[in-house]
């Protein structure tokens, strides 16, 4: 079965095309998780009506992350972008976007983690929400129907606190801002690149993920939340996120969001 997008207008009205999606996977020292991730992707994509291209962005790993991606010969269409040196998650995302947007026929981008914490059972749903009109389909573990499994109490607390702060700063009712798992409309992303260029994401690290969502919102992007379970049970190794530098960077993002909101309101 193939999912079709119906073109609503123009002389070609009624014509249909297959949905083309790219999955961007920033990966830093993920050699222990990649074999499992490849297996999960193979299962998820085998039954999907969409056409997926996977782009691994190796963020200057010291381990065999790039070598494993390079050596992959399975059924998934897999591409590798090498960052050379470690530049952080925000920069890795930008590199992945640039590679994905080389495909002129691309409809949707989904960003996921390399550590198998994303429920790929929701992958098609992310794409479907975007096809249905969302600019962003945000994976949301803090939604009342979402949850976090096998994540330490401290990490849950910092993650929840960050999202509450972002809600206050933006005035939005979205429950989760910090999660990488999201679908993005490619026409919307292209317009955002035209508008902001290389400054689409200015935070090089984890806060870039939050910054991007807030930028999309400020520019009128329609965000739909997809409740997800973030399950760290299968992850091999510890989280590599450095908590305090990330908290500081998220604080910068929240302050900018608040200032932007006040400007839009009063100027
Ligand atoms: N830590 C880290 N991760 C990066 C970097 N660049 C890309 N990544 C990837 O970004 C994703 C998120 O990193 P994680 O270490 O899982 O951080 P997290 O998801 O916020 O933390 P957990 O919820 O504890 O997993 C993973 O796929 C990493 O491999 C980087 O410079 N540092
Ligand atoms: Mg993770």
* Residue (of 253, 261, 247) closest to 160 by Cα position: 247
- For position 267, what pLDDT does the model report? 67
25 CA → ligand 1 middle, Å? 10
| Residue 16's pLDDT band (cuts 50, 70, 90) | low
User: Across the strands, what pairs with 17?
Assistant: 5
The predicted structure's pLDDT at residue 247? 86
Domain residue limits at 113: 4-266
Helix 207-218 / helix 186-196 crossing angle, nearest 10 deg: 90
The whole-number pLDDT of residue 8 equals: 38
3-class SS at 132? coil
For residue 136, pLDDT over 60 is answered with yes
Q: What is the mean pLDDT of residues 97-112?
A: 98
Nearest CA to ligand 1 atom 20: 241
Q: Is 240 in the pocket of ligand 1 (CB under 6 A)?
A: yes
- Output the residue whose Cα is nearest ligand 1's atom 17: 241
Least confident among 7-16, 107-116, 153-162: 7-16
The answer, yes or no, to whether residue 6 has pLDDT greater than 70, is: no
Q: For the segment 35-71, what is each residue's pLDDT rounded down to a tens digit? A: 999 999 999 999 899 999 999 999 999 999 999 999 9
CA separation for the pair 249, 254 (Å, rounded): 9
Q: Is the CB of 30 under 6 A from ligand 1?
A: yes
pLDDT at 172 over 90: yes
In DSSP terms, which residues pair with 81 in a beta bridge?
57
- Mean pLDDT value across the chain: 91
Are 172 and 208 contacting, i.e. CB atoms less than 8 angstroms apart?
no
For 182, the token pair is 């999201």
Report which bound ligand comes closest to the CA of 207.
1
CATH code, domain with 151: 3.90.550.10
CB 97, CB 57: distance < 8 Å: no
| Contact by Cβ (8 Å): 175, 156 | no
* Ligand 1 atom with minimal separation from the 59 CA: 6
Q: pTM of the prediction? A: 0.92
pLDDT for 193-214, tens place per residue?
Answer: 999 999 999 999 999 999 999 9
Total of domains in the chain: 1
State the CB neighbour count (10 A cutoff) for residue 201: 21
pLDDT at residue 239 greater than cutoff 50: yes
């Amino acid at each position: 079965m193939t999912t079709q997008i119906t073109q609503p207008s123009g002389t070609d009205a009624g014509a249909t095309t297959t949905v083309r999606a790219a999955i961007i996977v920033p990966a830093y020292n993920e050699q222990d998780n990649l074999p499992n991730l490849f297996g999960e992707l193979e299962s998820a994509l085998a039954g999907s009506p969409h056409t997926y291209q996977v782009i691994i962005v190796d963020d200057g790993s010291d381990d065999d992350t790039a070598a494993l991606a390079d050596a992959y010969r399975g059924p998934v269409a897999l591409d590798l972008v090498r960052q050379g040196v470690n530049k952080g998650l925000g920069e890795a995302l930008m590199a992945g976007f640039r590679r994905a947007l080389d495909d002129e026929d691309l409809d949707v981008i989904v960003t996921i983690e390399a550590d198998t914490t994303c429920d790929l059972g929701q992958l098609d749903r992310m794409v479907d929400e975007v096809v249905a009109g969302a600019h962003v389909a945000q994976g949301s573990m803090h939604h009342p129907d979402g949850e976090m499994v096998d994540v330490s109490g401290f990490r849950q607390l910092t993650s929840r606190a960050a999202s509450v702060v972002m809600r206050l700063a933006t005035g939005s009712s979205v429950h989760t801002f910090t999660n990488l798992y999201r679908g993005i409309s490619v026409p919307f992303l292209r317009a955002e690149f035209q508008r902001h260029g290389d400054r689409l994401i200015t935070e090089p690290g984890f806060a870039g993920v939050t910054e991007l969502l807030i930028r999309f919102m400020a520019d009128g992007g329609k965000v739909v939340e997809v409740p997800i379970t973030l399950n760290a049970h299968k992850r091999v190794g510890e989280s590599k996120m450095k908590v305090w530098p990330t908290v500081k960077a998220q604080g910068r993002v929240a302050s900018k969001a608040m200032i932007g909101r006040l400007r839009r309101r009063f100027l």
